[in-house]
Amino acid sequence: MLHYDLVVLGMGSGNMLFGDELAHLRSAAVDPGRFGGTCLNRGCIPSKMLVVAADAVMDAREAARLGVHATVEPVEWRAVRDRVFGRIDPLHKAAVDYRRGSGVDVYTDAARFVAPKVLQVGSERIGAETIVVAVGSRPVIPDIPGLDTVPFHTSDTIMRIDEVPASLVVLGGGFIAAEFGHVLDAFGAEVTIIQHRPRLLMAEDEQVSARFTELAARRHRVLLDTEAVSVARTADGVAVTVRGPQGEQVVEAEAMLVSVGRRPNTDRLDAEAGGLELDCDGHIATDAACRTSVPGVWALGDVANHFQLKHRANAEVRLVRHNLLHPDDIRTLGTKGVPHAVFTHPQIASVGLTEQEARRRGIDYLVSVRDYGDAAYGWALEDTTSFVKLLADPADRTLLGAHIIGPQAATLIQPLIQAVTLGQSVDHVAQDALYIHPALTEVVEQALLAL
């Protein structure tokens, strides 16, 4: 059995762990897929490159409100797609070559635990003093009668299609549905979203979720409180039988996207054979330092946490690297101030408590809602639907949560993320910093001042 000082399973965020500080260790990298993981190859990065193109289409469609009458020539989908993946696809080989060139052994077979800190990788059995598990997650495939008999897409495949379908039915109402509904609608598909809950993006603040649902329904056919009963193949695509408030009906489309959630890849890893404790959702159980139930085994990213966010995984990589190098100075990473964004149309960003969560937990709060249209740049945009919503502690005046729906939301929220994370008072953030006039950041200032 080959023995290493360090083995890293999963070359998404796990690939970032290697570097000069750990170069003295005999190390191995294991990944049967593409280096860069979900984010680079089938997630965050290519989807946002497509979103930018979709946003350009929407800017033209909506320019009439500004007195600018624009048209969009047919979108060259293959040119857009090939630009995206023509940049991304060569990175895998370059990353493998770089790792091997730096002295890291690279295994491209799947790994599974056969005992604590012992792995079977293809025909090789390897062990290590330290193992970092970062094998990520994959789309959930629901148990719907007939689904296994029809062609369908997940977020893993939808971005590489050869043609935009004339019509698309989307199962699910979360961020993947919101983003790809936006992209494919902009590129010409008629989109139907089937959501089993009363609103889209139910994890967002209820006011944001309600506004987005209202706006999405202007672009797509949105079926709420509706479940897919069965799926069948048709001559032109798929037919989904659904049951909702109007009873049972059939939704037909040329293509189908299944986006009902993601699951950690622990089952493929046989994590329990490695002595690793799992939580009720199948994630590897870790403490705030990313340590698992087996000393010397660490876990990070989607396989261990429930955030499913690349920036959280990146923070965990930095944490694990420090803890490996400084075992007498173990650091931890809390869950306060973990932000996220949904790159749909309009954009959405959030950090901290939602209003419904504050109510559920019995937390006292002040609330402020400010429309983009109250700020000068909002006038320039002729914006009538976007807003900033803030929640603050009435006692210590700290910011409990921030939620934005509208243009540039993922950028506008950054000072509010810092306020939540650093415990700054709303008075300090509102009054002790200048906000450029007439930039869109003034709507954030106004929401803070209203508190």
Structure tokens at 143: 């148990």
Over range 154-172, report the average pLDDT. 98
| pLDDT given at position 446 | 98
CA 84 to chain centre: 18
| pLDDT given at position 74 | 85
Q: Which candidate, 228, 203, 221, 226, places its Cα nearest to that of 142?
A: 228
Respond yes or no: is residue 437 known to be catalytic.
yes
DSSP annotation string for 399-449: EEEEEEESTTHHHHTHHHHHHHHHT-BHHHHHHSS---TTSTTHHHHHHHH
Over range 406-413, report the average pLDDT. 98
Left if phi > 0, otherwise alpha if psi is -120 to 50, otherwise beta: which for 362?
A: left
pLDDT score of 431 more than 90: yes
Over range 405-421, report the average pLDDT. 97
Q: Do domains 147-260 and 346-450 have the same CATH topology?
A: no
Q: Residue 412 to residues 338, 350, 442: CA-CA distances in angstroms?
A: 15, 10, 10
Domain range annotation of the chain:
2-137+263-325, 147-260, 346-450
| pLDDT given at position 333 | 95
Half-sphere exposure of 365 (CA within 13 A, CB side): 22
pLDDT score of 195 more than 90: yes
Report pLDDT digits (tens) over 323-356: 999 999 999 998 888 999 999 999 999 999 999 9
**Rounded Cα–Cα distance for residues 272 and 285 (Å):** 11
Could you tell me how many helices (H) and strands (E) the chain has, helices first? 14, 21
| pLDDT given at position 126 | 98
Percentage of the chain modeled with pLDDT above 90? 98
370 pairs with which residues across the strands? 388
Report pLDDT digits (tens) over 207-223: 999 999 999 999 999 99
Structure tokens at 280: 């009720």
Report pLDDT digits (tens) over 63-91: 999 999 999 988 999 999 999 999 999 99
Please tell me whether the peptide bond between 438 and the residue prior to it is cis, using omega within 30 degrees of 0: yes
**Rounded Cα–Cα distance for residues 335 and 252 (Å):** 42
Q: Which of the listed CATH numbers 3.30.230.70, 3.10.129.10, 3.40.50.180, 3.50.50.60 matches domain 2-137+263-325?
A: 3.50.50.60
Structure tokens at 300: 């990070």
Q: Which of the listed CATH numbers 3.40.710.10, 3.90.1640.20, 2.60.120.260, 3.50.50.60 matches domain 147-260?
A: 3.50.50.60
- Considering Cα of 353, then 214, then 237, then 56, what sign does the dihedral take? negative
Please tell me whether the peptide bond between 139 and the residue prior to it is cis, using omega within 30 degrees of 0: no
CATH number given to 346-450: 3.30.390.30
Report pLDDT digits (tens) over 240-251: 999 999 999 999
| pLDDT given at position 336 | 86
The DSSP symbol for 284 reads: B
Over range 212-238, report the average pLDDT. 98
Please tell me whether residue 283 adopts helix, strand or coil conformation.
coil
Please tell me whether the peptide bond between 339 and the residue prior to it is cis, using omega within 30 degrees of 0: no
Catalytic residue among 3, 306, 326, 437: 437
Please tell me whether residue 111 adopts helix, strand or coil conformation.
strand
Report pLDDT digits (tens) over 287-313: 999 999 999 999 999 999 999 999 999
Q: What is the pTM of this model?
A: 0.96
Where in 247-313 does DSSP place strands (E)? Answer: 247-253, 255-258, 262-264, 297-299
Residue 192's CB: how many other CB atoms inside 10 A? 21
Angle at 119 between CA 293 and CA 331, to 5 degrees: 35
**Rounded Cα–Cα distance for residues 217 and 384 (Å):** 16
pLDDT score of 423 more than 90: yes
